Structure 1
Amino acid sequence: MKPRPRPILRRGNGGIIMWDERFSGDEYFYGTEPAGFVAAQAWRLAQGAHVLSVAEGEGRNAVWLAAQGLCVHALDGSAPALVKAQKLAAMRGVTITTERADLGRFIWPIGAYDAVFGVFIQFAPPAMRAAMFRGMAQALKPGGLLFLHAFSVRQLANASGGPKVAEQLWTLDLLREAFAGWEVRHQGDYDAVLSEGPGHSGPAALIDFIARKPGR
């Protein structure tokens, strides 16, 4: 009998999180509906656009994007999460491509996607975050759109989700610096009330950022 693969671990919430364990139950930890940011901003993409969703989790955003006529490739480190993503896609009658990937070691493609989404990807400490940002930029075609949505540093005052580590939370200045020279299409630092499964529930401080990669 083959040995069971070891779960891929991510750093977040001040320690090692067993994401396979978090996503192994029947319940969708962050719900089955897309983040409000995704639903509000996907109009920017033409049908048939090729989209990469980074650290997708259980599929809520990827499946919704696929239902809008987009070709979606979802990355995550958790095998149980991706099984649930495919299950959700089947229930919704859409097709997505899923790939298990350790984002700390992932070999990013070059210029392969019209859009890249990073929604609540704040498990990454600063050095890994910078590497992921470089990889996401590399994966975009010239003129492609980067969609980022996450918790603001102000989220430390809330109990609705996200890491309790200030260096893993974001500001607009951080994102503008990381993507200097890109055309910012939308940005916001605001408060909202989340109802996204047990993982994100209650008042939250959020960051939105959409930018166009230079070229074409």
Structure 2
Amino acid sequence: MTATADTARWDARYATDDYVFGTAPNAFLAAQAHRLRPGMHALAVADGEGRNGVWLAGQGLRVLSVDASAVGLEKAARLAAAHGVRIDTELADLSAWDWGSERFDLIAAIFIQFAGPALREAMFAGMRRALRPGGLLLLQGYRTAQIGYGTGGPAQAENLYEEALLREAFAGMEILHLHSHDSVIEEGSGHRGMSALIDLVARKPPSAPAA
């Protein structure tokens, strides 16, 4: 599927009054509230309709919410206004987006598994570069066992995660938390039911180079 076709698919999916994945933050992300500090500069990757970026802004963070869907970002802006917070939004093709270097104190990457292996590798490299020294990566995704549940996520096993894959991808970072579990999630109509999940919290070393 081309990037244009994929964008059109997400635009069509978000073209409803309902929020496909709900308006509450991802439970794993919300559980990391103790790691946040007001004023941190955060990136919400593929933030869709904005539930996670808006929650981060509500914790006092300065948030950039990026997504390939203009429809999703419009809904994200409306959600932010409804919650009385501000987020910056940017329409971005993440296969070509400039992540920059040492821009963010925190990156939230929640269910970004539209990315196959090649794009995933490029995105993970972009995240490592974009984090400032000491910055945090908060990532949740589906494990390969999710295909058996069929309660959300991609059908392609190659897009899913396992602990070894994440340990290798972020080998230069300090792994603060890495946990595989099967749990029930209720995130709108998009993610609902028992799910095979994996959670990662990783910190870029304070003295790490940007690359």
Asked whether the 8 Å contact 2:140–2:200 carries over to 1, the reply is yes
Q: How does 1:65-80 map to 2 (within 5 A)?
A: 65-80=56-71
- The within-5 A match list for 1:23-172 is 23-172=14-163
Matches within 5 A, 1:164-203: 164-203=155-194
Alpha-carbon distance in structure 2 between the residues aligned to 1:9 and 1:67: 33
Secondary structure at 2:95 match in 1:
coil
Assess, with a 3 A threshold, how the Cα gap between structure 1 residues 138 and 9 changes in structure 2: closer, same or farther.
farther
Q: Which residue of 2 aligns with 1:3?
A: none
- TM-score, normalised on structure 2? 0.94
Q: Deviations over 1:55-76 (max 9, x none)?
A: 0000000001111111110000
CA distance in 2, matches of 1:165, 1:158: 13
On the 8 A contact 1:8/1:19 being kept in 2, the answer is no
Inter-partner Cα distance in structure 2 for 1:145 and 1:183: 9
Which residue identity does 1:46 align to in structure 2? R
With normalisation by structure 1, the TM-score equals: 0.92
Looking at structure 1, the residues matched to 154 and 184 of structure 2 have their Cα atoms a distance apart, in angstroms, of 17
> What CA RMSD, in Å, does the superposition of the two structures yield over aligned residues?
1.3
Q: Check whether the contact 2:36–2:59 (CA below 8 A) recurs between aligned residues.
A: no
| 1:127-146 per-position Cα deviation (integer Å, ceiling 9, x unaligned) | 00000000011110011111
Matching of residue 215 in structure 1 with residue 192 in structure 2 = no
Distance 1:149 1:182, change over 3 A: same
Q: Is the 8 A contact 1:160 1:194 kept in 2?
A: no
Cα shift at 1:152:
0.9
- Percent identity over paired residues: 51
Superposition deviation, residue 181 in structure 1: 2.4
**Partners of 1:117 and 1:214 in 2: CA distance:** 17
Q: State how many pairs are aligned.
A: 205
Task: Please give the alpha-carbon distance, in whole angstroms, between the structure 1 residues aligned to 2:181 and 2:80.
Answer: 31
**Which stretches in structure 1 are left out of the alignment for 5+ residues?**
1-6, 11-15
Runs of 4+ in structure 1 over 4 Å off: none
* 1:8 Cα deviation from its structure 2 partner: 3.9
